[in-house]
Amino acid sequence: MSKPKGFEKPSGVRDYLPYAVEKLRAIERSVLDCMAGWGYRQIMTPTMEYYETVGVASSTSDHKLFKLLNNRGTSMVLRSDMTTPIARVVSSLLREEPLPLRLSYHANVFRAIEEEAGREAEFFQTGVELVGDDSPEADAEVVALAVASLQAAGVTSFKIALGHVGFLNGLLEDAVPGREDVREALKEGLLHRDYVGYRETLAQLSLAAEQRDELEGILRLRGGKEICSQARELSQNPLAQASVEHLSQVWDALEDYGVAQHVMIDLTMIGDFSYYTGMTFEGYAAELGFPVCSGGRYNKLLQQFGRPAPATGFSLKTNRILDGVNGIQVEPALPILLQYDVAHRKEAFAEAKRLRSEGRSVVMKHSDGPDDLICDTAGKGKRKGPLGPAYGEIVSFVEGD
């Protein structure tokens, strides 16, 4: 294996140049401010966690984790999401805090599968967790906040699709009882939007016509609130009925929030069915063909850390918004170039201090005399490229200028 060149970096990671960082930070600040307005307090957790705790409890498949050993030989992981570390904190450091808890975050996360898929192995997420409330009102709150957060991030045209894993589970309980392998195959087809594969799996089953119609009927359950009525008619299973009723109540609350126009019901969408226990949702921006946010209810995670509690939340795919959505536009604040000679150095330094106290950015340049000055016309916009123009203003403290 050849030695990497000095300018190379590992696959799946990237450098962020100043203009990209400015936009990323602007998105981060705007979204976190939005979340704070809804009562969510920001939390930070370590980049590394123990594999036997956070790694095992995570929804991320084992082969997608970045694993390493510390100097004691203990298995560690780079965090693959923020939900599981937050569950650890809620169950330990925040154990005495009364529920519900509302927490927000912005962090980089790591998943090895992203590298294999030609995508990023390190990326950013901004999201919230609402812990301790199992009601439709709580689910509606996080969906409404997801709408507000996408708007705060500069995403103007988007749609959020709501699903519920309980509906499909109930449907399958009646249609293919006791056949866990078949259930998993059908769920995999829906999870990956492979409707052709889903129908092919159905074709291989010996099902009564009524059961086949029920399982094919789920593919048509996408639309507005009327989908709830259609879903009730499709399956009489108690779990399926309860799931539809929950979604119906969430929809009613979203109408009162005034955000229902951004939402649709899609009962083919189940999210990661090994992780979510109830409502799930994904948000799609008009500019992109893949989700810019995702979330849902996960009521079983916290019990793995010894504090059983219902929870729901979501995360924005901040990198996707940064790269693919023309939302927040950041105009860089160009620094002032302050030129000085030794005779006027103290005066120049005092002026720089004054300007910086006003929030201005100041770059200092020592000059040997008038012939060494950068003139105003040369300074403004002279340097082009990824970093943009050089200076917004030039001030000289030089003898003879």
Q: Which positions ≥6 away from 196 have C-beta within 8 Å?
A: none
What confidence score (pLDDT) does residue 381 get? 37
Q: Round to whole Å and give the CA distance between 353 and 343.
A: 18
Amino acid at 316: L
Instruction: Check: CB of residue 291 under 8 Å from CB of residue 321.
Output: no
- Tell me the C-alpha to C-alpha distance, in Å, between residue 84 and each of 50, 61, 88, 307: 12, 13, 6, 13
State the DSSP H helix or E strand holding residue 357, giving kind and residue range, or none if neither. helix 345-357
Predicted confidence at residue 380, as pLDDT, reads 43
Q: Looking at per-residue confidence, does 328 or 302 come out higher?
A: 302
Residue 53 DSSP one-character state: I
Name the pLDDT band for 377 (thresholds 50, 70, 90).
very low
**pLDDT tens figures, 22-39:** 999 999 999 999 999 999
Mean pLDDT of the chain: 88
Average pLDDT over residues 151-177: 89
Q: Are 180 and 300 in contact (CB under 8 A)?
A: no
Please say if the pLDDT value at position 382 is more than 60.
Answer: no
**The Cα angle at residue 245 between residues 243 and 247, in degrees rounded to 5:** 70
Rounded Cα–Cα distance for residues 230 and 233 (Å) = 5
pLDDT in tens, 337-372: 999 999 999 999 999 999 999 999 999 999 887 877
264 — pLDDT class (breaks 50, 70, 90): very high
Tell me whether strands 279-285 and 158-164 are parallel, antiparallel or unpaired. Answer: antiparallel
pLDDT band for position 327 (cuts 50, 70, 90) = confident
Residue 253 has pLDDT above 80, yes or no: yes
pLDDT at 401: 62
CA pair distance 298, 240, nearest whole angstrom:
17
Residues 6+ apart with CB under 8 A from 16: 24
Query: Element (H or E) spanning 117, and its range?
Result: none
Kindly give the residue spans of alpha helices, DSSP state H, lying in 160-304. Answer: 165-175, 180-191, 195-203, 209-217, 226-234, 238-257
Q: Is the peptide bond before 98 cis (omega within 30 degrees of 0)?
A: no
Six token digits for residue 298:
């996960």
Name beta bridge partners: 284: 159, 291
CA distance 309 to 59: 17
Separation in Å, CA 241 to CA 208, 277, 282? 21, 15, 22
The yes-or-no verdict on residue 232 having pLDDT over 70 is yes
SS3 259: coil
Residue type present at position 173: E
Using an 8 Å Cβ cutoff, are 5 and 313 in contact? no
